[in-house]
Amino acid sequence: MSTIEKRPYYAAGLAAFIIWGFIPFPLKALAAYPSGQILYFRVALSVVLLLLISLLFRRKQIKAVLTQVKQSVPQEKRKFILFTVLGGALLTINWLLFIYVINHISIQTGSFSYLLCPIITAVLGFLLLKEELRTNQWIAIALSALSCALVGSGEIRSLLFSLMIALSYAFYLISQRILKDYDKIVLLTLQLILSFVFIGPFYSFFTEGSSAVLDSHFFLNIALLSAGFTVLPLFLNLFALKELTSGTIGILMYINPILNFIMAFLYFDEKTTLLKVLAYMIIFISVIIYNINLKGRKKSANGMVIPPVGTTAVIK
């Protein structure tokens, strides 16, 4: 396919990550509400939307996954169940942490975590899946470690939250690579159902002590968060992956945290230090170094990038 013919796919990929880049807006609009309560309704509405889409337009894919699981050997079935449940748990943890960080710490901290995430995922892939890393990628990993040290020397709390978000999402991505032969939308729908099951019994705990009223403002932003910042960019990303390589999507993914940083400083008036600016520059340089020689990278089978919160690569 020529470059001109690929334009709609590039446009879809760009649109997906630009949308995800503006996710702090609906989250900040809900800052008065507990993070767990936001997560509860965001997951609930996302599940409803994905179920409707799947039942109306993706029945063949659902049947294919069911057949695939039924026909697999017992060991494969156990692996499917284990990593689907694990994926749901990790996604829940990641989204909850991200919402809390954006609303109660800083957008910078949340954005930094998603710049770290690809590097941490690469290290985990090397350690757990025996994936090979090139020399320039090891250099990028070393620079990322230096960046973390600089952030930690200035504010250890922010670094710890960034690492927890990055690690939870990195482990999620690793678990989904193990399930790479299954339809990603079906997997995500199952994991969000499990996520709702996980957090449902704790709803009263999440809302304890909160006096915020669940009014039209709340539900409007929840609807925007679920439909506009989860389901819509997810399908745009899937459309882009039909013709673009996972490496290209990986580069586009960095639009998301870069937009987050810009908004943090220009719109939400967050402050930073010279040390943090240096750390952010180093991590950004490390990302560029890591992605050198993309032409040599293999295209992943049925890959998919998930958003924070919502973000990153398999939703990201």
Note whether residue 312 is domain-resident. no
What end-to-end distance do the CA atoms of the chain give, in Å? Answer: 26
Which pLDDT score is estimated for 300? Answer: 43
Residue 27 tokens read as 């989250």
The whole domain housing 130 covers: 7-296
Distances, alpha carbon 78 to alpha carbons 68, 73, 75, 171, 179, in Å: 13, 9, 5, 19, 12
pLDDT tens per residue across span 54-96: 999 999 999 999 999 999 999 999 999 999 999 999 999 999 9
CB 23 within 8 A of CB 307: yes
| Number of domains within the chain | 1
Return d(Cα 174, Cα 305) in angstroms, integer: 12
| Residue 285 lies inside a defined structural domain of this protein | yes
Q: Name the residue among 175, 12, 165, 164 with its Cα closest to residue 81.
A: 175
Q: Is the pLDDT of residue 98 over 70?
A: yes
| Tens digits of residue pLDDT in 3-53 | 677 888 889 989 999 999 999 999 999 999 999 999 999 999 999 999 999
Q: Is residue 94 in a domain?
A: yes
Helix 35-57 × helix 184-199 angle, to 10°: 140
Contacts of 90 (CB under 8 A, 6+ apart): 168, 169, 171, 172, 175
Residue 269: inside a domain: yes
Measure the CA–CA gap between 234 and 249, rounded to whole angstroms: 13
Does residue 253 form part of some domain? yes
pLDDT tens sequence across 212-250 = 889 999 999 999 999 999 989 988 887 887 787 666 776
